[in-house]
Amino acid sequence: MAARTVFVAGAGTEIGKTYVTAALTRRLRGQGRPVRTLKPLASGVPPLSDPAFAESDTARLLDAQGLAVADEHVEACSPWLFAAPLAPDQAAVLEGRSVALADLVAWCRAQIACTEGTLIIESVGGLMSPVTETATGLDWLRELAVPALLVSGSYLGAISHALTARETLRLHGVPLLAVAVSESEGAPAPLSTVAAAIARHAGVPVFGLRRGDACPEALADLV
């Protein structure tokens, strides 16, 4: 049986997708539910031999799954890793490499087919960030045809960004399970205020998460 799959998309870049994804992974494991978490594309990643790799998104997701940072686990979680902190298509060019949407989608579909329980796929950047020379994160999500969990920040402007991403998903027929608002450092408004404002317009459950907090049970129950 194919895995129940959720695609974690961002309303922007560097807003806490990996924090939310890791927290959700830990909550599902705590519920005794089988879960596998992937970040197929990642840029700005140091070599595995560099101690700084421990701070990478891939390392954080492996830790949430209780997996050691080892070659086989890294490859199984993030087969496309790039060093430059740029969009994957740009980072790939600097290394003389490329990413094709067809390859990315085929790899993800293979993981869906062979995974039991829940499969979480974390995207890269924001919903409309390029993932290849011609495709965006939205194209990737549409090709996979799986529901999304949208992650927003709580910074000034986050409400508009979250609702714009939500409307984009709606217009493209992508099912949205929920919005997770990850608290932004130095945000001028309380997390609860931002989450409530998004909830008034989003039409789906909205959850606020502070760094270090556990994922709400109610959010995990939607996955």
**Side chain identity at 202, as an amino acid letter?**
A
How far is the C-alpha of 41 from the C-alpha of 80, rounded, in Å? 5
Q: Does the active-site annotation cover 39?
A: yes
- Which pair of tokens denotes residue 147? 């529901």
Euclidean distance between CA atoms 209 and 159, whole angstroms: 15
Show the tokens assigned to 174. Answer: 């992508």
Q: From CA 149, how far away is CA 141, in angstroms rounded? A: 11
Copy the structure tokens of residue 81: 């890793």
Helix-then-strand count for the chain, H and E: 9, 8
The token duo for 18 is 């990996």
| List 27, 39, 161, 166, catalytic entry | 39
Show which residues are catalytic. 39
